[in-house]
Amino acid sequence: MVRKLKNISQRKQSGPAALLDSHIAGAVKDSAQQIWLAGMGAFAKAQAEGGKVFETLVKEGLSLQKKTQGLAEDKISEVTGRMSAMAETVTTRAGQNWDKLETLFEQRTAKALAKLGVPTAKDVDALVRRIDTLSAQVAALGKDGAPPRRTVASKATGAKKAASKKAAPLKARKAPVKRAARKQAAA
């Protein structure tokens, strides 16, 4: 642009118009030079302060990153807390359901055993106490020196033993007869 102005000013070198043209050309030349120097100054300033601006941006970035990490950690701990509470609730409910199931199973098993006539633990405990009481009474009678009384149950047991002794010889007698009959049938 400066060359064009010089060329224009060299062509018109005559009279007052030349003066006006040279005055305008000088103003334009000064203006262009000032614009050029302003641009150079802006570039130098940007270059000098560019490092400072970069460092400032890095600091702001770190600050923003710390804030974001803090928020993320808060959200993570909040979600973890909720999940723990939910897991605890589910575990509690499952335990309650398991207890109900166990109670139901025990009730049904006890009912089935009662139908079959199987004695319960209470029945067995009552019998154990009764046996202990009877054992103590027997021991007390044995210390007195009196002969033990025969009860109805022991008389019945004695009668059964006697009957089985009498029945044994009859069986022995019948066995050879049966063998002899088999031998004759086979022949």
pLDDT band with cut points at 50, 70 and 90 for residue 174: very low
Q: For residue 108, what pLDDT is reported?
A: 93
Q: For residue 181, what pLDDT is reported?
A: 52
pLDDT band with cut points at 50, 70 and 90 for residue 86: very high
Q: What is the pLDDT of residues 106-159, one digit of tens each?
A: 999 989 988 998 888 899 999 999 999 999 999 999 887 555 565 555 555 555
173 lies in a domain?
Answer: no
20 lies in a domain?
Answer: yes
7 lies in a domain?
Answer: yes
C-alpha closest to that of 175 among 164, 165, 183: 183
45 lies in a domain?
Answer: yes
Residue 26 belongs to domain spanning: 2-84
Written as one letter, the residue type at 127 is L
Q: Structure pTM?
A: 0.32
List of residues 6+ apart from 28 with CB closer than 8 A: 5
Instruction: Answer yes or no: is pLDDT of 104 > 90.
Output: yes
Q: At 6, phi and psi to the nearest 5?
A: -65, -45
Distance, in Å, from the CA atom of 117 to the CA atom of 123, rounded to the nearest integer, reads 11
178 lies in a domain?
Answer: no
Q: Residue 141, Cα to own-chain centre: how many angstroms? A: 66
Number of domains in the chain: 1
Q: What is the pLDDT of residues 2-50, one digit of tens each?
A: 566 566 556 555 555 666 667 787 888 888 888 988 888 888 887 777 7
152 lies in a domain?
Answer: no
DSSP string for 6-28: HHHHHH--SHHHHHHHHHHHHHH
Question: Which region holds residue 148: left if phi is over 0, alpha if psi is between -120 and 50, else beta?
Answer: beta
6 lies in a domain?
Answer: yes
